[in-house]
């Protein structure tokens, strides 16, 4: 009876942790819950929860299906969460072709492109462009780092959207941006 109660509590804790942070690996979950990696894997299987790669892939497919202002190929990084007209999250891992040859630090335009495309992706508008971007690079980014960008629409005035994007690695906020995006009906081409 006691073991069943502990298992239910662990399952509830596992579900809660994955709801708030769906990218947690089995190893991290095991450490946080004080059990073995094998226990986490068995719990996930029993609960019908896929492993982290599959969870990420499912979230990306669901988010891409909601895009309105830009196409899925225009998003830099993997769009993993999208609440159209409100907020979104994308993930990008810095690869060797994204860093400068001499110092191996990521080119700023890749970090900017992730943030800018995410800002456009969250808009509930048929067509939009970037009008203004106020950006701040805070910490150098290196090869292999996973960047998580979170966008939020903070204000809308007429056809202008004010979107803030904050990008983090595992430890720090590395980039921050404020965008003013302008939507139009697409007829003015």
The 10s digit of each residue's pLDDT in 137-184 is 999 999 999 999 999 999 999 999 999 999 999 899 999 999 999 998
The DSSP letter of residue 22 is T
pTM confidence score: 0.71
Domain boundaries along the sequence of the chain: 2-49, 57-184
Q: Which range among 2-11, 20-29, 63-72, 125-134 has the greatest average pLDDT?
A: 125-134
Q: What's the mean pLDDT in 39-52? A: 86
Taking domain 57-184, whether its CATH number is 3.10.20.30 is answered by no
Q: Are 47 and 67 in contact (CB under 8 A)?
A: no
Model confidence at 188, pLDDT cuts 50, 70, 90, reads: very low
CA dist 112 and 121 (Å) reads 14
Q: Which fold has domain 2-49?
A: Arc Repressor Mutant, subunit A (1.10.10)
Residue 124 CA from chain centroid, whole number: 18
């Amino acid at each position: 009876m006691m073991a069943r109660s502990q298992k239910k509590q662990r399952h509830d804790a596992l579900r809660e942790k994955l709801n708030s942070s769906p990218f947690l690996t089995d190893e991290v979950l095991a450490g946080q819950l004080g059990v073995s990696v094998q226990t986490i894997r068995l719990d996930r299987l029993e609960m019908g929860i896929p492993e982290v790669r599959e969870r990420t892939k499912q979230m990306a497919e669901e988010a891409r299906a909601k895009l309105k202002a830009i196409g899925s190929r225009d998003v830099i990084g993997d769009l993993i969460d999208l609440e159209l007209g409100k907020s979104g999250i994308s993930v990008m891992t810095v690869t060797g072709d994204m860093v400068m040859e001499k110092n191996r630090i990521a080119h700023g335009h890749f970090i900017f492109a992730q943030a800018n495309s995410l800002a456009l992706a969250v808009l509930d508008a048929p067509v939009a462009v970037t009008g203004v971007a106020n950006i701040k690079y805070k910490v150098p980014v290196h090869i292999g780092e996973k960047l998580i960008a979170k966008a939020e629409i903070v204000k809308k005035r007429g056809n202008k959207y004010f979107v803030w994007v904050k990008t983090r690695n595992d430890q720090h906020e590395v980039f921050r941006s404020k965008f003013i995006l302008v939507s139009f009906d697409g007829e003015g081409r």
